[in-house]
Structure 1
Amino acid sequence: MTRIRVALVDDQALFRAGIRMLIESQPDLEFVGEAGDGAAGIALAASSAADVILMDIRMPVLDGIAATEAIVAASAGVSGPPRVLVLTTFDLDESAARAIRAGASGFVLKDAEPEFLLASIRTVHAGNAVIAASATRELLEHFAARAPQPVAPPSFETLTPREGEIFVLAAKGLSNTEIATREFLSEATVKTHISRILGKLGLRDRVQLVVFAYEHRLVD
């Protein structure tokens, strides 16, 4: 069994120790390193070949947003790039929203249940996005408030009518299974459409698709 390689970047030693023990208790996860600030986190991402990086936002030397942006930029065009899962103390603030913009695949609260954090790691590794459930509405409102009028960028016009329909359903939070059932398609076909949509729009994953949709007022 190929294990998911997980790295952790957080400035609290006690918190790092707890997360390390949690990761090491899972047969399908491998803890590959830790760092105490964003600059060290960038170096860790380059040396550890981590699949998923758990990233704190507020840290000394370099914060988690800047570190996330650097890690995402460095992995552009790389096959199987690391996914960044942001750890935050608050349901939603400007920093969490900025982390999503920087390329994070989602965020979870530091006080989340261990099972939820573990599930989130597996989810982002599979290429999906995770947003703390309590913050989803606030996150969408945050981005929607920035676009008072619908503005469809040129890249959106490159979608086929069918891709446009699937885009809207995905932006509303429907899973591949739910979209497949609703549109009478196979899940494999839906997955292919989602991949093409992300490619055409220059997006990394579903969380950026949702942000894109609400930011440009392409869904209600």
Structure 2
Amino acid sequence: MFVLLSEITDAEVVGTAVDREELVHQSARLMPDVVVAGSSLVLPDGLAVVSRLPSTVSGSTVMAAEYDTDELLCAALAAGVHSYVPLSAPREDFDAAVQAVAAGGAFLPTDVTRRLVRNFHLVPRRTARPAELELLSERERQVLLLVGDGRSNREIARTLKVGEATVKSHVSRILAKLELRDRVHAAQLVWRLGLDVPCLLPQS
């Protein structure tokens, strides 16, 4: 883990921890911009561990998953981490996660975002349109669903047959209207509301 983190662009490793108590102690002492913790340090009872971190640190946690399962992903997000990256992911994903969280955002790899929406069947699917979506235009609802599916602006543009600049504008308006910080939070909203294709896309 140390070697991986030491290779992240414009990042400095200021401390390490081998157990939960040391993680909490070192975080309070060093006050790092980002905490990167293996899943064994965060889970189980991850919410309790994250809540013990200083308030300026608890919102800046990246979990590096030693093993990658849907259950672990769900537990990590419930624990309050702002990024979940499997150790098997490309180094670029760790770079992006640390940079995003350090800037106050969140990050999930594209394939993880897609799983978040597609594989959590325990979330009830709604037949009625959630009230939050009434703030959006029909096109913005379509873009939101595709963002939740983990698609890039280019992929959304191809799907909806519009320009990438148009998609970017739609995404910006969606985030503003729904008071979401970034695309990851938009994807989490899609999952949390139990949205499905029939809920957002016109029926043929």
**TM-score higher than 0.5:** yes
Q: Of 16, 40, 49, which residue of structure 2 is paired with 1:58?
A: 40
* 1:66-99 deviation digits (Å, cap 9, x = unpaired): 333555x935xx9xx8532212222214232121
Where 1:29 maps in the other structure, the secondary structure is: coil
Question: 1:63 Cα shift?
Answer: 4.7
Q: 1:52 to 1:93 in 2, by over 3 A?
A: same
TM-score normalised to structure 2 length: 0.66
Amino acid of the residue matched to residue 51 of structure 1?
D
How far 1:111 sits from its partner (Å)?
A: 4.0
Give 1:147's aligned residue. 124
Q: 1:158 aligns with which of 118, 132, 135?
A: 135
CA deviation vs aligned residue, 1:180-219 (integer Å, no higher than 9, x gap): 78544367635532431451xxx55433422321343323
Runs of 4+ in 1 over 6 A off after TM superposition: none
Matched, 1:30 2:12: yes
Which stretch of structure 1 is more off in the superposition, 53-62 or 103-112? 53-62
| Aligned partners of 2:125 and 2:195 also within 8 Å | no
Q: How many residues align?
A: 193
Letter in 2 for 1:216: L
Counterpart of 1:107 in 2: which secondary structure?
strand
Residues 104-129 of structure 1, C-alpha deviations (whole Å, 9 max, x = no match): 23322234454543344335546352
Question: In the aligned structure 2, how far is the partner of 1:101 from the partner of 1:152?
Answer: 24
Match for residue 193 of structure 1 among 166, 173, 176: 173
Which residue of the partner structure matches residue 97 of structure 1? 74
Can you give the 5+ residue segments of structure 1 that lack an aligned partner in the other structure?
Answer: 1-18
Give the Å deviation of 1:160: 4.7
Q: Quick one: percent identity of the two aligned structures? A: 26
Q: Which has the higher strand share?
A: 1
| Residue aligning to 1:74 | 55
What residue in structure 2 maps to residue 130 of structure 1? 108
Give TM-score, length-normalised by structure 1. Answer: 0.63
Q: Deviations over 1:41-68 (max 9, x none)?
A: 3454455443332122223898544333
Q: What do you get for the CA RMSD once the two structures are aligned?
A: 3.9
